[in-house]
Amino acid sequence: MAGAPGAGKSTIAAEIVRRLNLKPANAKSPSTPSPHTRPEGPVAVCVGMDGFHYPRSYLDTLPNRNEAYARRGAPWTFDVHGILSLMRRLREWADRNPSLPNQTSTPPTEVPILAPSFSHTIKDPVSDGIQIPSTVSIILVEGNYLLLEEDGWSDVSPLVDLRIFIDVDLAIARERLARRHVAAGIEQTLEDALRRVDRNDYLNGRLIKDKLVQFDLLVTSVEDKILGT
């Protein structure tokens, strides 16, 4: 799942995963589990690409350090090779388990797959912050550039089963991002927040829409008072 900053990817992905993991109201756990009973645990998980931001320690080594900080979140400030490594591992995992959606048992020796997350507190990635347990059969990967037609990024698309693009009017995304910056205390006024968006996220959003690879499903993001997206 890909889309411009402010498109609502994380909100939509979280809701999809929540619904997939809902236990049917009439489902009952057997008093004596069968050896063929699927272990308890989530069937779906979301893996965000924010964990592949280059850490600040790496940005500090760049000759264009100031630009790297100002444009953090642009495609070149992500470890695309790390993303591809994880995606290839997930592809291999899926190919080894062709019957995952109907699987009734999980090998007890299956080791959870780990992926990095991103901490807004320390403003850096956290190694192994996301765990993909062996009960999972659906992995939803979301990030700004997963459908970007650029070297490295365009290698992601062939590795997945379903490509979803979350489209959004960039003017709506701009307002959302600015409000988010104010709410997070990054900027004190909406005017300053809008200027911040225009210097980075808006440019990234324009790039994403202009250089889009082929996708399977288009979802249009609109304002929703309930979900807040």
Average pLDDT per consecutive 10 residues, the chain (229 residues; last block may be shorter): 97 96 67 55 95 98 98 98 97 79 47 91 95 93 98 97 98 97 95 98 98 98 66
Per-residue pLDDT at 227: 52
Entry pTM = 0.85
Determine the Cα–Cα distance for residues 200 and 3; give it in Å rounded to an integer.
Answer: 15
Per-residue pLDDT at 103: 47
Which domains are delineated in the chain?
2-22+41-168+212-220 (3.40.50.300)
Per-residue pLDDT at 82: 98
Give 85's Cβ-side CA count (13 Å radius): 9
Q: Where are the beta strands (DSSP E) in 76-137?
A: 113-119, 124-132
Per-residue pLDDT at 112: 83
Provide the terminal-to-terminal Cα distance of the chain, rounded to the nearest Å: 16
Per-residue pLDDT at 29: 55
Q: Where are the beta strands (DSSP E) in 124-176?
A: 124-132, 138-142, 164-167
Assess contact for 104 and 96: CB atoms under 8 A.
no
> How deeply is 104 buried, as exposed, middle or buried, from its count of CB atoms within 10 A (0-12, 13-18, 19+)?
exposed
